[in-house]
Structure formats: structure tokens, C-alpha cells
Amino acid sequence: MKLFDDLRAVLVHAGFRKLFTVRLVSQCGDGMFQIGLATLFFFSPQNLATAGAVAAAFAVLLLPFTVVGPFAGPLLDRWRRRQVLLFGNALRVVLALVLAVLMATVGVGPAVYVLALLTLGVNRFLLSALSAGLPRVVPREQLLMANTLTPTLGAVSAVVGAVLGFVIGAALPEGPVKDGAVLASAALLYGAASGLALRLGRDELGPERGAQAPRVRDDLRATVADMVDGARYLLARRTPGMALGVMSVHRFLYGANFIALILISRNLLANPRDATAGLATFAVLAGISFAGNGLAIVLTPLAHERMTPSAWIVVCLGIGAVSQVVLAASPRYGLVATAAVLMGLAVQGAKIAVDTIVQRDTDDSYRGRAFSLYDVLYNAAFVGAAALAALALPDTGWSRPVFAALAVVYVLIAVAYRAGVARVDDTPVPVLAVEHH
């Protein structure tokens, strides 16, 4: 099977094996942590999910990190990325354990939202470090292959963690101990990921100037100028700038669908007052959507043999449009499931191609800033989707006009991106002196 052949091809590199292991364990903890939050915020028996409430929860968790996110990129271009993985996961151990204690003693309150925000913020920072370090452990010609495998198999690991968290929660009686147990289990996995990062060399993941990194205070002072410089570089480089733009819109459309899926699962396909049934329905549909991610693992390398990554992005946007047409037809379970798997394929397939373009066409000294900008746009787009959902979606989560409009947006974005790529001949323009060589 091509998947296993590709995996064997990149696993021969010792650095990749070590980085990949850190990703799998870390994202398993992410899945466990996130299922704990999802149960708490969206599927707790004492809360009824409305479009406004779900949107507000996403905004609280994502909007502040969108504001502070630009600080991650300059630091990733100065700090040793291996140290980021080591200390970032160690910090998440502390945050998750404090959250577990609060859940078991005090319950949901402002402190829980703040700590959850910080933990998810560190998670985004770590994912940026993992992506920025990947080109240092695999040859350039295997980047697409590595980008196909690592994010998607990392997502598999996150699903495994979510399933384990669901099982742990289901095995415990209702009460404060149940709320904290899943988060405490996630802390154990974060600790394991932190220890596994020690297997990598201190400078193995770069950046080149990591050993001469300035003081943190100086880094923070230079952040605004660095991020402006990074954005200008990406726009001048052309191909990564366009790829980040189209992925932001894709994330916006996916976010609207994700919020709709929560509401449809909780309030339409299940009894609105039976939170457990709503969670089970959402878990099944999310798993079906993840099957679409799995299809992206298989189809993206095959597509790459026949077309460029930018052409594959256009195809994925077309698949996204089809998913919205299916969803607009009817809220029947079979159609919702079909739309979910198509959306999973579309978003993951496009993400693999975008990651490849950004890594391939961005100089190493700018790569951290590129993925930090990626994360900022990623979160801002989801917050925008939450605002759209609060305004446009009913509490049932299903609206034919909304999904029909999203299908039209997918088509327009695909046409605009294809025209932009054709205009630059899908070729990056050298910006730095080193790129001219």
C-alpha cells in the first residue's frame, strides 16, 4: 500500500522518526484535552447549545490567541525549536493539571476559560514549531510526502486520544472527578511528549541562528517589525502568500460547517435535552469527517503525480463546494455524513498542499514567521466563522440558504485562486540573495 511505502521512505531518517514520535504523543494528548473541553462546553447536561453560545465559546478560546499569535513566529525564528517542544509540552502539563483540579473542586468559571485558552495557545505554538522544523529532518524532495503523513497521522493520534478521553469519561460516574480525570490524563501525555523531545539534538530543528538568539526582551521588541517584514516577504514571494490566503478562506468555511455540525448533532439529529446522545452523534459524524482526512492521505500523493499542489488546492475547493450542495439538500443523517466526509477530504487535502507550498517556497529564516502567520489567520478565520454562525444559523444548525451561499463562495475562491496561480505561472519570485542561488 502506498501509504506504508511512503511512511517507510521517510522513517529511514532518524531525525524524522524522533520528531514524528513527539507529534504523535503530543497530538494524542491534544485529542484527549479537546474532548474534555468539548464535553464541558458543548455537551454538558446542564447546558443547552445554541448558535450564539457555541460561537461565543469558540471566540473566547480562539480570539485572544489570534491577538498574541504573532509573537510565536519571531520566537520560532530565534529560539531552538527543539527547546520549544520540550518546554512547551512541560508547560501544558502544569496548565492541564491546574485545570483538572479546578474542574474537580470549583467547576467552570473565568479561570477555566483563561487556562483553556493558554493551553490551546501553547498547542498552536507547538504545531508551528513542528511544521517549521520538518524541513530540517527530511530531504526537500520528500517534503510533500512528509506533509501528507505527519499532520494527518497526527490527526489520527488526536482522534485516538479523543476516543480514550471519551472512554475514560464514560467509565466514571457523573460529577467533578469525571470532569477533571480526562484533563489529568492529557497532562500525562504532554509530559511524555516533553520527555521525547529530549531525543532530538538541541540545534537539530534549527533555526540557523538559534545558538546566537537575542534576549527574549529584544525578541518581543522586534516582533511587530519582524511580522510586517514576514508578511511582506510572503507577498513578494507570491506562491506562499496566495496559499495562506486561500487556506484562511477555506478555514472560515470549514469553521462554519464545524459549528453547524455541533448544533445539528446536539439539537436536530438527537434530542436537544439529551446531551449524551448529542455527543455520541457528533462523535460519529466527526469520525466520518476524519475518514475524509484519511482519504486525503491516499489521494494527495496520487494527485501530486498528476498535478501541482496549487492545482490540487483548486480540486479540494471544488470538493468543498460539492459538500455544501449535499448539505443544503436535506438534514437527513446520510446526507450530513456524506457532506462531512467530503469536507474532511477537502480541508485536509488543501492543507497538505498549502503546507508544502509554504515550506517549499519560504526561506528557513522566515519559515517560523510564515507558520505563525498561518496560525493567526487560521484562528481568526474560525472566529469569523463563529460570528457568521451566530448570525446566520438557527439553533438546529441547518439552513439551506446558508449552505447554498457557502457553496457559491467555494466556487468563487477556487476560480480566483486558479487565476492568481496562472498569472504567476505557479513560480515563486526570489526575494532574498540566497534564493537567487
Query: Is residue 263 included in any domain, yes or no?
Result: yes
Q: Any idea what the CATH number is for the domain that residue 38 is in?
A: 1.20.1250.20
* 434 in a structural domain: no
Number of domains the chain contains: 1
The reply to whether 131 falls in a domain is yes
For residue 82, the enclosing domain spans 2-425
Q: Does some domain include residue 75?
A: yes
pLDDT at 4 over 50: yes
Q: Which residue has the higher pLDDT, 128 or 218?
A: 128
**Rg of the Cα trace of the chain?**
21
d(C-alpha 27, C-alpha 151), whole Å: 10
- Judged against a pLDDT cut of 70, whether residue 31 lies above it is answered with yes
Rounded Cα distance, 376 and 362, in Å: 17
Query: Mapping DSSP to helix (H, G, I), strand (E, B) and coil, where does residue 256 land?
Result: helix
Does residue 38 belong to any structural domain of this protein?
yes
Q: What residue ranges in 181-275 does DSSP mark as E strands?
A: none
Nearest CA among 121, 69, 132, 112 for reference residue 91: 121
Whether 432 maps to a domain, the answer reads no
Please report the pLDDT score of residue 375 as a whole number: 78
Q: What is the DSSP string of 60-107?
A: HHHHHHHHHGGGHHHHHTTS-HHHHHHHHHHHHHHHHHHHHHHHHHT-
Q: List CB contacts of 151: < 8 A, sequence separation 6 or more.
A: 348, 351, 352, 355
- The CA distance from 379 to 71, in Å, is 14
The C-alpha angle 313, 317, 320, rounded to 5 degrees, equals 140
Neighbours of 46 (CB within 10 A): 6
Flag whether pLDDT at 211 surpasses 60: no
What is the Cα–Cα distance from 405 to 411, expressed in whole angstroms? 10
pTM: 0.72
Whether residue 176 is preceded by a cis peptide bond, meaning omega within 30 degrees of 0, is: no
Please check whether residue 433 lies inside any domain of the structure: no
Instruction: Tell whether 437 is covered by a domain.
Output: no
User: What is the rounded average pLDDT of the residues 208-228?
Assistant: 66
On the question of pLDDT at 137 being above 70, the answer is yes
